[in-house]
Amino acid sequence: MRRPDQQTTTRPAPEATLGTGNGTGPAGPDAAPGTGPAAQPAAPGPDTPPAGARPAGPGEPSGPPAAAGTPAARPGSGGTGSAGAGFTGFTGEPTAEGALAPYLRGQAAEFLRSLRLHHEYSAPADAGGHGAAEAARALRRAARRIGGSLHTFRAALDPHWADQLRGELAWLTGILAREHAYANRLARLVDALHLLSGPTLPAARGARAAGEAAGADAQGRAALGVGAARAAALLERRLTLARTRSHSAALQALGSSRFHAIADAVALLASEVPAPSGHAGRAAAASLLEPAELAEQRLLTAVAALPPDDTGPYNEAQDAAWHQARLLLRLHRYAHEVVLGGADPGLTAPGHALDLHRDAVEAAGAAAAAARTPRIAPATAYALGVLHADQRHGVESARAAFRETWPYATALAAP
């Protein structure tokens, strides 16, 4: 059992260079439909850290209040460091010049490479192809890592420059994420309707109770089947329209002067990372462990404050706490990549569970919004209600999967 103030980020040994981390961060698609253009500094978007209370960093997440649970060490870690974590090419404390600057330059180069590929695949001959979607995802991935690193290590950089670029990257990732999110949501809901309205299994012979239950189930599925097709058509109209609008907005954003200014700023970042000014900034740049450990501690506090698992699936008011934990987990993962040279493989499964949770929450919201459409048939409304319930149970399943895979078991103990 480790103390609540004991960090799990492994400090590199001062006399020897440690091995290379063997984890890789999740490269899957991300983020739900975002908010509008961000201010300077930006308001939080789907891929941006939430607003917080740290005076020196506008937009920094505060996290939920601390709960009475003491995070335990990971299995096999001995209560000190993440198992299998390494640090690449450094001796002593990781610094902004030695760790953060190369990381930001690498992500900036990936951003520019993805942008070039996106322009190539968006040519009239290849428009709308798989290559353009993959390039857009890689572009968002690099933008998120740059923005998250600017957020966590703001004190080790030029604060004004970091806030401005992070806000613009938040706007860009929000715009680019919407089309992909609507397409995934439509596919998820239509597939769920097909499964819910499918045939039932035959009941055992000679079992009257089983036969009555099977008959009731068959009647329910018959009623669901009547409205399922109409519900699917309604969802397809609504989400396809939203996806088309998001696609147009993304194309307009990628051709705007605002985006070209972002691309120019990232191109400069690929060659030079602005250094902080003043004694405090130089001191912060001398070691990156303190902000990385602060990001980790905020994650542990947020997870410890998550609601218990006995509240049932229809608790939409608690979704915000889980979304907050997902954003803080992403910030911690990016900080781990900067400081230790690689992702923490122990957090891959919990991160995937939180992504599934986000998808299920938004799919349930889309089904509920479609059910509020005026003058729809009762059978259609019934099918959408069943679909909403199915997605809310998916929310509960994702929460259970997170609790099972989270490495700090006592942080999720019920109060």
Q: What is the pLDDT of residues 43-68, one digit of tens each?
A: 344 444 444 444 444 334 444 444 43
pLDDT of 317 strictly over 70: yes
Q: Which of 140-154, 237-251, 273-287 has the lowest mean pLDDT?
A: 273-287
The type of residue at 312 is G
Mean pLDDT of the chain: 76
Long-range pairs of 114-118 with CB within 8 A, sequence gap ≥ 24: 114/138, 114/139, 114/141, 114/142, 115/139, 115/263, 118/254
Predicted confidence band at 199 (pLDDT cuts at 50, 70, 90)?
low
Asked whether the predicted pLDDT for residue 126 surpasses 70, the reply is no
With a CB cutoff of 8 Å and minimum separation 6, the contacts of 93 are: 11, 12, 14, 286, 287, 288, 289
Highest mean pLDDT among 48-62, 87-101, 331-345: 331-345
pLDDT greater at residue 70 or residue 157: 157
Q: From 335, 304, 333, 307, select the one nearest 320 (Cα to Cα).
A: 307
The answer to whether the beta carbons of residues 11 and 289 sit under 8 Å apart is yes
Residue 354 pLDDT exceeds 90: yes
Tokens of 290: 């303190």
Question: How far apart are the C-alpha atoms of 388 and 188, rounded to whole Å?
Answer: 12
- Rounded CA separation 107/162 (Å): 15
Per 3-state DSSP, what percentage of the chain is helix, strand, and coil (rounded to 5)? 60, 0, 35
pLDDT band at 313 (very low <50, low <70, confident <90, very high): low
Q: From CA 246, how far away is CA 224, in angstroms rounded? A: 31
* Residue recorded with tokens 């040994």: 13
The pLDDT value recorded for residue 41 is 39
Per the model's pLDDT, the better-predicted residue between 74 and 239 turns out to be: 239
- Judge contact between 260 and 199, C-beta under 8 A: no
**What does pTM read for this prediction?**
0.73
User: Is pLDDT above 80 for 340?
Assistant: yes
Residue 23 main-chain phi, psi, to 5 deg? -90, 155
Instruction: Name the DSSP letter for residue 286.
Output: T
Tokens of 266: 């990232």
Q: Which structure tokens are listed for 3?
A: 């103390």
Q: At how many degrees (to 10) do helices 130-152 and 319-340 cross?
A: 80
Please state, for a pLDDT cut of 70, what percent of the chain lies above it: 66
pLDDT at 109: 96
What is the C-alpha separation between 358 and 240, in angstroms, rounded? 20
Task: Please report the pLDDT score of residue 124 as a whole number.
Answer: 58
Q: Which carries the bigger pLDDT value, residue 364 or residue 411?
A: 364
